[in-house]
Amino acid sequence: MKVTIVGAGNVGATCADVIAYRGIASEVVLLDIREGFAEGKAMDISQCATNTGFNTRVSGSTNDYSKTANSDVVVITSGIPRKPGMTREELIGINAGIVKTVADNILAHSPNAIVVVVSNPMDTMTYLALKATGLPKNRIIGMGGALDSSRFRYFLSKALDVPANDVSAMVIGGHGDTTMIPLTRLASYNGIPVTQFASQEVLDKVAADTMVGGATLTGLLGTSAWYAPGASVAYLVDSILNDQKKMIACSVFLEGEYGQSDICIGVPCIIGKNGVEQILDINLNEAEKAAFAKSADAVRAMNADLKAVLV
């Protein structure tokens, strides 16, 4: 199985590294516009093979899409990341042009690929990729919810002082500082509601920390995060390539689910070899429904800014 990752920067290279290390794909191609950069990252990752014991072939390409031909999955991480003090939405001006060009190039060489969109603002870039390529909605998946949910589980595990893998929790809605919806009511510690282990005040802080999780790391690192983002993409790619049918919150095109249409936004999905195999329209309470509608309004407002790119 072949995976192409466009953008060999922090997130793209980390994703390639995790995919190779875990043997998720037999072949990974990294592509970047910076001369020699993807080749260098691919060589560095490949030189881990004997010490970590993987056999995935990893190669690099400077903007030569012929090397990406017949990929099963293509991940788009190309574009600029935010700096401290910025929102993800401020990246739209530069990233929209990059994502559209990349999406067109990918499909010319891998017409059957499932496309995973990572570049920010991710929900808007996912919508752009869908509209620009005309691909069926099951083949365009925005990655954000897998990362946000892993951060939510991390903060819950800290608050409860338990292992993160014993915590089950999901974040839906937009992948933005104010649009994420951590579903605290449904979060559990080995099946027992987390509300039995922490006060509402503590859980509210966990939700707030989760929503600004990316901004907090950007402030600490000077650029946005990459280890958890790269691992989250690899987790999603694993479910596609190995037909695992995991339930993962992904940004997908809605046609009536959650009362929304003509928008890509995070909802629980079953992810398998066909990409988005099912959208789970779970029952939300009134407060969660209101939060989802507000989140969708904000994401839709950003989509309106794509008009110039989509002509």
Residues of this chain that interact with ligand LMR (CB under 6 A) are 81-82, 88, 120, 147, 175, 214, 218, 224-225, 229
Q: Which of 178, 177, 176, 158 is nearest to 167 (CA)?
A: 158
Of ligand NAD, ligand LMR, none, which one sits near residue 12, judging by CB under 5 to 8 A according to partner kind? ligand NAD
Of 274, 23, 276, whose CA–CA distance to 145 is shortest?
Answer: 276
> Which residue number, 58 or 129, has a Cβ lying nearer to ligand LMR?
129
Q: Which does 34 bind (CB under 5 to 8 A by kind): ligand NAD, ligand LMR, none?
A: ligand NAD
User: Residue 134, annotated ligand binder?
Assistant: no
205-234: which residues touch ligand NAD (CB under 6 A)? 223-226, 229
- Flag whether 275 is marked binding: no
Q: Which range, of 76-84, 162-170, 192-200, 279-287, touches ligand NAD by CB under 6 A?
A: 76-84
Residues facing 229 on adjacent strands:
none
Is 12 annotated in some ligand binding site?
yes
168 binds, among ligand LMR, ligand NAD, none (CB under 5 to 8 A by kind): none
By the rule CB under 6 A, 174 interacts with ligand NAD = no
For ligand NAD, the closer CB: 215 or 254: 215
Nearest to ligand LMR by Cβ — which residue? Answer: 214
Instruction: Consult the annotation and say whether 17 binds a ligand.
Output: no
Count other C-beta atoms under 10 Å from residue 8's C-beta: 28
Find the catalytic residue in 175, 214, 239, 299: 175
Say if residue 115 carries a ligand binding annotation.
no
Between residues 118 and 129, which has the closer beta carbon with respect to ligand NAD?
A: 118
Q: Which does 95 bind (CB under 5 to 8 A by kind): ligand NAD, ligand LMR, none?
A: ligand NAD
User: What would the DSSP string read from start to end of the chain?
Assistant: -EEEEE--SHHHHHHHHHHHHTT--SEEEEEESSTTHHHHHHHHHHTTHHHHT---EEEEEES-GGGGTT-SEEEE--SPPP-TT--GGGGHHHHHHHHHHHHHHHHHH-TT-EEEE-SSSHHHHHHHHHHHH---GGGEEE-SHHHHHHHHHHHHHHHHTS-GGGEE--EEE-SSTTTEEE-GGG-EETTEEGGGTS-HHHHHHHHHHHHTHHHHHHHHHSS---HHHHHHHHHHHHHHHTT--EEEEEEEEEESGGG-EEEEEEEEEEEETTEEEEE------HHHHHHHHHHHHHHHHHHGGGTTT--
Q: How many CB atoms lie within 10 A of CB 38?
A: 30
Nearer to ligand NAD, 79 or 272 (CB): 79
Q: Can 109 be counted among the known catalytic residues?
A: no
Residue nearest to ligand NAD (CB): 9
7 in a labelled binding site: yes
Confirm whether residue 295 is marked as ligand binding: no
Chain positions 6 to 35 lying near ligand NAD, rule: CB under 6 A, are 6-12, 31-34
Residues that bind ligand NAD (CB under 6 A): 6-12, 31-34, 37, 77-82, 91, 95, 98, 101-102, 118-120, 122, 143-144, 147, 175, 223-226, 229
Binding residues, as ranges, are 7-12, 32, 82, 88, 95, 118-120, 151
- Residues with a catalytic annotation lie at 175
